[in-house]
Amino acid sequence: MAPITNGRLIFKEAPGPDEYPIPGKTTAYDESKTIDLENVALNGGFLVKVLVLSIDPFLRGRMSVPKGLEKLYPPALKPGEPLQNSGIGIVLRSEHTSVKQGDHVYGRISFEQYLIFPNLNGIEVLKNEANIPISNYLGVAGSPGLTAYAAWKEFIKPKGNEVVYVSTGAGPVGSTVAQLAKRDGLKVIASAGSDEKVKFMQEIGVDVPFNYKTTDIKEILAKEGGIDIYWDNVGGETLDAAIDASHPNARILACGMISGYNSPDSLAIKNIFQIIPKSITIHGFNVPALAPKYIAEFRKEVPGLIAHGELKVLEHITKGLDKAGHALLDVLTGKNIGKSILIVAEA
């Protein structure tokens, strides 16, 4: 068989500090490479056809590292390199003893249609025993779900009559948090940026879902009598509003601050003083540090909950690797509803 095009989404140049990544300018779809699927040498490794890729806000941070955080972030991508993120592929050919043709593999995957892996470093065979759609393993059954699960178990010791507020409650992390909180019997307030997202939050059982673009956060938190737990995916003014509405002994989980991916200055907060009289604890956390402690129970429990409809999943599908730059822009500007999934190929 003749070589075929092996399309890639490459990084071209960093957006300015206040700019979003623009498809065609920041990234470009490149078709200059080819691959001969039948004859390419594997050298003991295996050949993977990429099926799905996760599109996440942190990809913005791979394009230019926030100032002052150089030591904490991996170095930014170099122009010409493909983007990289969690993804799932199917094995076309294998010379590796632990991997066979037809296996799904999950791990850190370059934004390319076909990839050769020399070994299982950074990638693992995905056993989908719960028989859920594989894309779920990039969302509620994957890193975002594990983020919610691990931090909820580690930091929140919920009492039955408490109230939790979740920002970005329609996203994969926020919606998992909201559903875990409901399973623990809490009252859940959650916000998102569109009426469609509000509808989804209603469907997963959120008691007080609201659209923060049309409803004042401060007013609604006050009207609901304040909060005991805040799951922060936003930062800035929303974090200030949550601190202001917090009861004594509130716990705040700082999971992401999407409001500052493009303009770090908007992450300044004014109400931090209140944590003293209110005895509030704020936990910043990152998943790689916390995940190992919870991954076994997460994998045992969560895919089954999804299969039985006890954890609901919403995905925002974009088709085609050439549209990955658009999908990222949608995530960063809040246009997607649910976990953003890029379909590179249909099995």
Among 20, 207, 274, 330, binds its own copies (CB under 8 A): 274
Supply 231's token pair.
């799951």
Among residues 89, 174, 264, 303, which is the contact residue for its own copies, using CB under 8 A? 264
Q: Residue 152 Cβ, how far from its own copies at the closest point, in Å?
A: 16
Q: Where do the DSSP E strands lie in 126-207?
A: 163-166, 187-192
In the complex, least distance from residue 264 CB atom to its own copies, rounded to whole angstroms: 7
**Contact call for residue 17 and its own copies (CB under 8 A):** no
Q: How many CB atoms lie within 10 A of CB 80?
A: 11
3 binds its own copies (CB under 8 A): no
Q: Between residues 191 and 259, which has the closer beta carbon with respect to its own copies?
A: 259
Nearer residue to its own copies within complex by CB, 90 or 241: 241
Which residues are CB-contacts of 103 (< 8 A; sequence separation ≥ 6)?
90, 91, 94, 125, 126
| Shortest distance, position 279 Cβ to its own copies, whole Å | 5
Strand partners, 49: 90, 114
Instruction: Dig out the tokens for 105 from the structure.
Output: 């593999």
User: Tokens in use for 199?
Assistant: 């509808």
Select the span of 35-43, 157-165, 241-249, 332-340 touching its own copies (CB under 8 A). Answer: 241-249
Angstrom distance (rounded) from CA 95 to CA 312 = 38
Decide: 292 and 262 in contact? Cβ < 8 Å: no
Is residue 248 a contact point for its own copies (CB under 8 A)? Answer: yes
Per CB under 8 A, 51 contacts its own copies: no
Structure token pair of residue 251: 């716990």
Binding site for its own copies (CB under 8 A): 66, 68-69, 72-73, 235, 239, 244, 248-249, 254-257, 260, 264-265, 267-286, 289-290
